[in-house]
Structure 1
Amino acid sequence: MATVKMTSHLYRFFPLLENREIRVAAGSVADVLRAVDQLAPGFSDYVLDERGALRRHVYLSVNDTILVDRKTLTDRVPEDGTVYIFQALSGG
């Protein structure tokens, strides 16, 4: 099972994920995001655009490697891997 960690900012929108260990079946990044969406409906809509690509303001890494395939999310997640999801900050 892969572990999913995210910035605390996302818990404001998905309180069902707060204060719990998120462990889902490994596979591709797309598989992991679908599994998280099952735990917190709407999560995928928040991090993915209408084409299913990762939104520009969202960054994701598998272990220490930033996601390569932002469009189809085919990067592999090892069974003992950790997926980190965080939102880019912007402003002035």
Structure 2
Amino acid sequence: MAHLIFTQQLGRFMTVPQVATDAADLRGALDACFADHPRLRGYVLDEQGHLRQNVAIFIDGRRARDPRRLDDALAPQSQVYILQALSGG
């Protein structure tokens, strides 16, 4: 099963889960996670269901391709890291 790992930056706002999923793609994995942890959705996705600008997702070390579709394929052993992107000067 693929694993979704939410980094501790989000832990300032809520308990962050680590979720195992058998979803075939990123969108399916996120939807399954948010079904069990609905409050987390608003920190990761905007009102249109797109990835928020201050959030980055990496799948097996590579950044997710499309922040709107979130259709990257997941392998059974994929590691998906969801983190707040850092900005500033």
Which stretches in structure 2 are left out of the alignment for 5+ residues? none
* Counterpart amino acid of residue 36 in structure 1: C
User: Is the Cα contact below 8 Å between 1:16 and 1:39 reproduced in 2?
Assistant: no
Quote the sequence identity (%). 35
Matched with 2:5 is: 5
Task: Find out whether 1:36 has 2:33 as its counterpart.
Answer: yes
* Count of aligned pairs between the two proteins: 89
Choose which of 79, 82, 87 in structure 1 pairs with 2:84.
87
Which stretches in structure 1 are left out of the alignment for 5+ residues? none
Choose which of 65, 70, 74 in structure 2 pairs with 1:77.
74
User: Is the Cα contact below 8 Å between 1:2 and 1:25 reproduced in 2?
Assistant: yes
Q: How many Å separate the matches in 1 of 2:23 and 2:76?
A: 5
Structure 1 residue runs of 4 or more that deviate by more than 3 Å after TM superposition: none
State TM-score, norm by structure 1. 0.83
User: Is the Cα contact below 8 Å between 1:25 and 1:35 reproduced in 2?
Assistant: no
- Residues 14-35 of structure 1 show CA distances to partners (whole Å, capped at 9, x for unaligned) of 3162xxx421223111111112
For the aligned residues, what is the CA RMSD?
A: 1.6
State TM-score, norm by structure 2. 0.86
